[in-house]
Amino acid sequence: MSLQIYNTETRQKETFKPIVPGKVGIYVCGVTVYDYCHIGHARVMVVFDTVVRHMRARGLEVKYVRNITDIDDKIINRAFENQESVQSLTERFIKAMHEDETALNILRPDIEPKATDFIPEIQQLVNTLIEKGHAYAAPNGDVYFKVKSFESYGRLSGKKQEDLEAGARVEINPNKQDPMDFVLWKASKENEPAWDSAWGQGRPGWHIECSAMSGSCIGERLDIHGGGMDLQFPHHENEIAQSECAHGEHYVNTWMHVGFVRVDNEKMSKSLNNFFTIREVLKDYHPEVIRYFLLSSHYRSPLNYTIENLDIAKTNLARLYTALQAAEPGLVAENTDFEAKFNEAMDDDFNTPQAMAVLFELVKEVNKTQQPGLVALLQSLANRLGLLTETPQSFFKSQVGQTDGLTDDAIEALIVERTQARADKNWARSDEIRDELLAKGVELLDGKEGTSWRRS
């Protein structure tokens, strides 16, 4: 089966055909770094990390670019509130973002451009749009894009220009020639970061950053452009307008958008106090549990964040790790129905829930036959989802849970005592230690090579 991807622009699944056979250029809108990454950011990062892993496993050469917005109103305002420089703030949160990525086993993009490193390219793109009659410099030093100069504006989001125009009239801006126009270059206020330009001291608007960075890092045409569902309008709509007016050709072949994360079926937001950062969730759940949870729904569907759903993910992931204990992995079993079904699921618009269902079919066979080749295949296929990257013993020991403050050393000491009790045929004490540990969230696993344990 050839790779099928749902294209937001055409609203249908399409057979994916790279611009250059065998090579793929992917650009994903990244984080505006003024705070810690939240679970919605994590979903976008994990989804596209999984997309890239699968494409590479299927033999495609992928160039993956995900930008960082390091200049923005929110960043400037937060730096002012904190009484620190913009650079200090952004560097701190970029470092935090990378720590969160590492925890969730997210591979770094091939290129991670920052907006402030592409000021000349941004200015050149703005200048091109002015020269072609698609943009104009306002008296206050701002530069605006003429929305009505691009006839197909609204095609990605399905919005009609007349409806947009009616909504835009609410916001009166005397510097705009038309209420629908959006800013490409912003005149800087006093004490704000600024760069010299032909239009005066200023800084880039948000939308123009991505057109400049994607064009510089990949090219004027992209195979895939992705991001969160919330970026469809106006951000991605504006990117299309800028890029196509500047370069005169179709900007993106396939648009991919990741669904919202909801909390107890409500939209996640700070105002509702249901906003969770990645590092907050990591305090209570193993990173792979979080990753499993984020992939448990199809990427285009809403994902409901609840403790119950995280606990289900924890239980299911434990089943996969338990199967790895069935036998020592050998050479990966090749050309199996399991691998074919897994690839079929992932080739169908990256259907991770169906791919996970195949893993559990494989678990049943592993538990029945304990074939080393199937154990290795289970781990290999799960690795494509960024899962089963630890040994079972390491995973179970590192589970976050209620263990009443028991350290690893304390657990090991009780296991030594229990082993001696069993040697002395003191079955009562042996059972007492097992029950004591189980009550504190530690499960003992007796095997031929001794007793191992895991936090339950």
User: How do residues 385-443 score in pLDDT, each as one tens digit?
Assistant: 999 999 998 898 876 554 556 777 788 888 888 988 888 889 888 888 888 888 787 88
Residues 253 and 180 in one domain: yes
Q: Is residue 69 part of a domain?
A: yes
> Which of 196-205, 278-287, 421-430 bottoms out in mean pLDDT, i.e. has the lowest?
421-430
> Which of 165-174, 268-277, 355-364, 433-442 bottoms out in mean pLDDT, i.e. has the lowest?
165-174
| Residue 35, pLDDT score | 95
Residues 41 and 81 in one domain: yes
- Which two structure tokens, joined as six digits, stand for 371? 């074939």
Q: Which of 393, 421, 438 is the last residue of a domain?
A: 393
Q: Is residue 293 part of a domain?
A: no
Q: Is residue 302 part of a domain?
A: no
| Residue 401, pLDDT score | 53
Q: Is residue 353 part of a domain?
A: yes
Nearest alpha-carbon partner for 232 in 5, 8, 49: 8
Residues 118 and 195 in one domain: yes
Residues 239 and 334 in one domain: no
Report pLDDT digits (tens) over 111-159. 999 999 999 999 999 999 999 999 999 999 999 999 999 999 999 999 8
Tell whether omega for the bond before 234 is within 30 degrees of 0, i.e. cis: yes
Q: Is residue 92 part of a domain?
A: yes
Measuring CA to CA, how many Å separate 354 from each of 322, 343, 381?
20, 10, 13
Residues 247 and 326 in one domain: no
129 vs 173, which has greater pLDDT? Answer: 129
Q: Tell me: is residue 236 an annotated ligand-binding position.
A: no
Report the amino acid identity of residue 173.
N
Task: Find the CATH number of the domain harbouring 339.
Answer: 1.20.120.640
pLDDT band at 365 (very low <50, low <70, confident <90, very high): very high
Q: Tell me: is residue 239 an annotated ligand-binding position.
A: yes
Helix (H, G, I), strand (E, B) or coil at 429: helix
Which residue pairs from 46-49 have beta carbons closer than 8 angstroms and sit at least 24 positions apart in sequence? 46/104, 46/106, 46/291, 46/294, 46/295, 46/386, 47/226, 47/258, 47/294, 47/295, 47/299, 47/350, 48/226, 48/256, 48/258, 49/106, 49/107, 49/386
Angle (deg, nearest 10), helices 237-247 and 119-131: 70
Indicate if the pLDDT at residue 373 is higher than 90: yes
Structurally, the chain folds into a number of domains equal to: 3
pLDDT band at 167 (very low <50, low <70, confident <90, very high): low
Q: Provide mean pLDDT across the span 50-71.
A: 98
| Residue 137, pLDDT score | 97
Report pLDDT digits (tens) over 226-248. 999 999 999 999 999 999 999 99
Q: Tell me: is residue 417 an annotated ligand-binding position.
A: no
- Which two structure tokens, joined as six digits, stand for 272? 């509702």
Task: Find the CATH number of the domain harbouring 237.
Answer: 3.40.50.620
Task: Give residue 195's domain range.
Answer: 4-262
| pLDDT, the chain, mean | 92
Q: Is residue 299 part of a domain?
A: no
Q: Provide mean pLDDT across the span 15-34.
A: 97
Q: Is residue 86 part of a domain?
A: yes
Residues 181 and 327 in one domain: no
Indicate if the pLDDT at residue 327 is higher than 80: no
Q: Is residue 398 part of a domain?
A: no
Indicate if the pLDDT at residue 168 is higher than 70: no
- How many Å apart are CA 437 and CA 411, to the nearest integer? 8
Q: Which of 393, 425, 447 is the last residue of a domain?
A: 393
Residues 313 and 205 in one domain: no
Indicate if the pLDDT at residue 52 is higher than 80: yes
Q: Which of 262, 290, 320 is the last residue of a domain?
A: 262
170 vs 131, which has greater pLDDT? Answer: 131
pLDDT band at 171 (very low <50, low <70, confident <90, very high): low
Q: Tell me: is residue 397 an annotated ligand-binding position.
A: no
Residues 58 and 176 in one domain: yes
Residues 344 and 222 in one domain: no
Residues 312 and 368 in one domain: yes
> Which of 116-125, 181-190, 301-310, 432-441 bottoms out in mean pLDDT, i.e. has the lowest?
432-441
Report the amino acid identity of residue 123.
Q
Indicate if the pLDDT at residue 169 is higher than 70: no
Helix (H) / strand (E) containing 82: helix 73-82
Indicate if the pLDDT at residue 57 is higher than 90: yes
Residues 125 and 250 in one domain: yes
Percentage, residues of the chain above pLDDT 70: 96
Report pLDDT digits (tens) over 217-228. 999 999 999 999
Q: Tell me: is residue 245 an annotated ligand-binding position.
A: no
Report pLDDT digits (tens) over 265-276. 787 776 677 779
Residues 178 and 213 in one domain: yes
Q: In what order do the strands lie in the sheet with 61-66?
A: 61-66, 23-28, 222-228, 252-258
pLDDT band at 1 (very low <50, low <70, confident <90, very high): low
